[in-house]
A and B are shown apart, each in its own frame.
Chain A
Amino acid sequence: MTLLTLTDLSVSLRGRDVFRDVTLSIGEGELVGLIGPNGAGKTTLMRAALGLLPFTGTSSLAGLSPTERARQVAWMPQSREIAWPVSVEDVVMLGRMPHQATRRPSDADRERTDAVLDWMELTDMRHRAATRLSGGEQARVLIARALAQDTPLLMADEPVAGLDPAHQISTMQTFAKLAESGKSVLVSLHDLSLAARHCTRIVMLGEGGVVADGAPAEVLTPERLAHVFHITAWYRDTEDGPIYQPLEVIR
């Protein structure tokens, strides 16, 4: 079953085409890495797919009612805004909102919240004000919030930016586990090694559209890295997965 289908999706912002005619579908059990240089339209693509931006073409999510959509897809924006000193637990519980008829949390809501707090190693700080945590801790709280929503599809915009290496890896492992359980994750990333190691599939955006879409090794070729990212990269296939180390900028 496909969880997201985009057909000929095009977005223009302030008269400039961000990308044109993107066709993409994501099925169950996929962890899809969305990569591309700054300005390629990774964020725009995800926001348009959700129906948060005007676009032409079709997105299978954009036609749903807001509540229905929130039960299908959880969205973790790049801006990590937490406006008030609300407790970590309360922030994570917000993710249960699309499932709640009233404001009083059900047992299922509490169970799910406890589980994701545990996954993201936040149980010890559940009663602390989220605004008082470090940037990396706040990022984990917001990932936990998105996981609490318990949707078939999760879209996350650079969720590992600002995390220490250990939490980058454990976050990607959490996403991989979600995918193994039959759910799907679409995640934008800048770290090519993380994308190559953990994602089952990579979609490379650039030059106003999808440049490549497929298995990590097929997508991340030296030619494409040179052409789309303007870099040369050192590459080694190891037992623990591929490693890409960007070396130089091609001018």
Chain B
Amino acid sequence: MSRVMIPLGLLVAGLAMASLLIGPAGVGAGESLSALIAGDGGPLTLVMREIRLPRMILAVMIGGSLGLAGAAMQGYLRNPLAEPGLIGVSGSAALGAVLALQTGLAGAFAFGLPLMALAGALGGVTLVMLLAGPRGGSLTLILAGIAVSALAGALTSLVLNLSPNPFAANEIVFWMMGSLADRSMTHVWLALPFMAVGIVLLAGLGRGLDALTLGEDAAEAMGVRLTRLRLQLVLGTACVVGAGTAVAGAIGFVGLVVPHILRPLVGARPSRLLWASAMGGAAMVLAADIAVRVVLPSRDLKLGVLTALVGAPLFLHLILKLRRERI
């Protein structure tokens, strides 16, 4: 366990430090850190405390919770291709955000956008739970998730389609790419309670997910309450994905690729994968957020674009490896 967790912990700590120290201000490490900690009220303190610190914290929170939710979702569905977005929450949160941008609520009120996105996530998860029913199996959950995702996607396209103003459409498209740039500590405080609740719900799933390795029947006979487990999974995922999408937009591939990469390193047990995957997710988003600043500093490269660009080939590589092993 610690064989994997210690290196991952060190990686996250190193990347978090780098995330604090890398930026267009171009100041030395010692100076930056003393401005962050001591805080003389100067412009550098402002940069560190209001720009880089929230950015780093959000990367850890969002990456970590996406990794955790991905590992939980894969464990529940016993499918390495599952990801947190499967239950339709990211799609419906995006719809809420898009409506906020389109109606001008986002401009009129600073937290109109994240609050609308949270409301969208809540609406999406309620619809999924209603469609899937209280006792349905994993298949009905997937189908309900696909239905809600499709509906949210269609409505988002409809909003774009009917948008009378090309600037609003442009803004929506860029927002949907996902980014951590220009976020403040208020965004952190807004997302934190939802993330905390979601992480507590998801972290408690370990034993049930381990038992599910042997199928739903065997798990239930081992004392796992499947209905409760599913509710905990869906609500936990909805909290973290909804809050993450609300403050940073859609960031894909983290919840899919990270559990997949780390699974062999933890002996494949779903309970051990949960925390490892949370660390891995934090590391991936931190690294991606550093990369968008370093690769094209002048062009505002979006975080979601980068995670997808890196994630897709990585995933292809994993599929090819799996195919070779099967033969």
Interface residues of A (CB under 8 A from B): 47, 50, 52, 66-67, 69-70, 73-77, 79, 81-87, 90-91, 94-95, 97-98, 103, 129, 142, 145, 149
Cβ–Cβ < 8 Å partners of B211 in chain A = 94, 97
**Total contacts A to B, CB within 8 angstroms?**
76
A sample of 8 inter-chain contacts (CB < 8 A) reads A50-B221, A52-B217, A52-B221, A75-B221, A79-B217, A83-B214, A85-B264, A103-B271
Cross-chain contact B213 with A103 (CB below 8 angstroms): no
B267 close to A90 (CB less than 8 A) = yes
CB-based contact B269/A75 at 8 Å:
no
Are B223 and A79 interface neighbours, CB within 8 A? no
Q: Which 9 A-B pairs have the closest CB atoms?
A: A75-B221, A70-B223, A83-B78, A81-B215, A84-B268, A67-B223, A66-B223, A77-B217, A85-B268
Minimum CB–CB distance from A121 to chain B (whole Å) comes to 20
In the complex, residue of chain B having the shortest beta-carbon distance to the beta carbon of A155: B221
Distance, CA A81 to CA B140, complexed state (A): 20
Which of A50, A66, A84, A91 has a CB less than 8 Å from the CB of B270? A84
CB atoms of B223 and A97 under 8 A apart = yes
Q: Is B224 an interface residue (CB 8 A)?
A: yes
Chain B residues with CB under 8 Å of A149's CB are 222
Contact check, A98 vs B222: say whether CB atoms are below 8 A apart: yes
A50 to B269, CA, bound (A): 27
Nearest CB to that of B268 among chain A residues? Answer: A84
Contact of A97 among B217, B222, B268 (CB under 8 A): B222
Closest to A87 in B: B267
A64–B132 Cα gap in the complex (Å)? 27
**A84-B263, A84-B270, A85-B268 are contacts. A94–B210 as well, Cβ < 8 Å?**
yes
- Which residues in chain B, 42-91, are within 8 Å of chain A measured between CB atoms? 78
A99 to chain B, nearest CB (A): 10
B27 CB–A CB distance under 8 Å: no
In the assembled complex, B225 has its CB within 8 A of some CB on chain A: yes
CB distance from B287 to the nearest CB of A (A): 26
Give chain B's interface secondary structure class: helix
Contact A83–B223 (Cβ < 8 Å): no
- Please tell me the number of chain B residues within 8 Å of chain A, measured between CB atoms: 24
A238 to B223, CA, bound (A): 43
Apart from A50-B221, A83-B213, A145-B214, list 11 A-B contacts with CB within 8 A.
Answer: A52-B220, A70-B223, A77-B221, A81-B213, A83-B214, A84-B263, A86-B267, A94-B210, A94-B211, A97-B207, A103-B207
Closest Cβ of chain A to B20, distance in Å, is 35
B218 CB-CB contact with A under 8 Å: yes
Question: What's the nearest-Cβ distance from chain A to residue B300, in Å?
Answer: 40
Which residues in A have their C-beta under 8 angstroms from that of B214? Answer: 81-83, 91, 94, 142, 145
* Chain A at the B interface: SS class: mixed
CB neighbours of B225 from chain A (8 A): 66
| A82-B214, A94-B214, A145-B214 as given contacts; A74 in contact with B221, CB under 8 Å | yes
Contact A83 B221 (CB under 8 A): no
Residues of chain B with a CB closer than 8 A to A87's CB: 267
Question: In the complex the two chains form, what is the Cα distance from A82 to B269 in whole Å?
Answer: 11
Contacts of B78 in A (CB 8 A): 81, 83-84
Chain A residues positioned under 8 Å from B220 (CB to CB): 52, 66
Instruction: Output the nearest chain B residue to A76 by Cβ-Cβ distance.
Output: B218
Asked if B9 is at the interface (CB within 8 A of a chain A CB), the reply is no
Question: Which residues in window 90-114 of B have CB below 8 A to A?
Answer: none
Looking across the interface, which residue of chain A has its beta carbon closest to that of B223?
A: A70
Contacts of A83 in B (CB 8 A): 78, 212-215
B206 within 8 A of A: yes
B221 in contact with A94 (CB, 8 Å): no
A93's nearest neighbour on chain B, judged by CB, is B210
**Complex contacts, B207 vs chain A, CB 8 Å:** 97, 103
CA A129 – CA B207 in complex, angstroms? Answer: 19
Which B residues are CB-close (under 8 A) to A69?
A: 221, 223
Interface string of B236-270 (1 = CB under 8 A from A): 00000000000000000000000000011001111
Shortest Cβ gap from B1 to chain A (Å)? 11
B125 to chain A, nearest CB (A): 25
Tell me, in angstroms, the Cα distance from A79 to B214 when the chains sit together.
9
B178 nearest CB across to chain A (Å): 30
Q: Which residues of B contact A79 (CB under 8 A)?
A: 215, 217
Contact yes or no, A77 B215, CB < 8 A: yes
Most chain A CB within a 10 A radius of its CB, from B211, B222, B268 = B222
Rounded to whole angstroms, the CA-CA distance of A103 and B78 in the bound complex is 20
- B213 / chain A contacts, CB cutoff of 8 Å: 81-84, 86, 91, 94
Tell me the B197-232 residues at the A interface (CB within 8 Å): 206-207, 210-215, 217-218, 220-225
Q: State in angstroms the CA–CA spacing of A162 and B225 once bound together.
A: 31
Contacts of B224 in A (CB 8 A): 66
Chain A residue at minimum C-beta to C-beta distance from B270: A84
Q: Within 8 Å CB of A66, what residues of B?
A: 220, 223-225
List A contacts of B223 (CB < 8 A).
66-67, 69-70, 97-98
In the complex, how many angstroms separate the beta carbon of B214 from the nearest chain A beta carbon? 6
A90 to B224, CA, bound (A): 17
Task: Give CA–CA (A82, B219) in the complex, Å.
Answer: 11
Distance (Å) between the CB of A66 and the closest chain B CB?
Answer: 4
Tell whether, in the assembled complex, residue B269 and residue A70 are in contact, meaning their CB atoms are under 8 Å apart: no
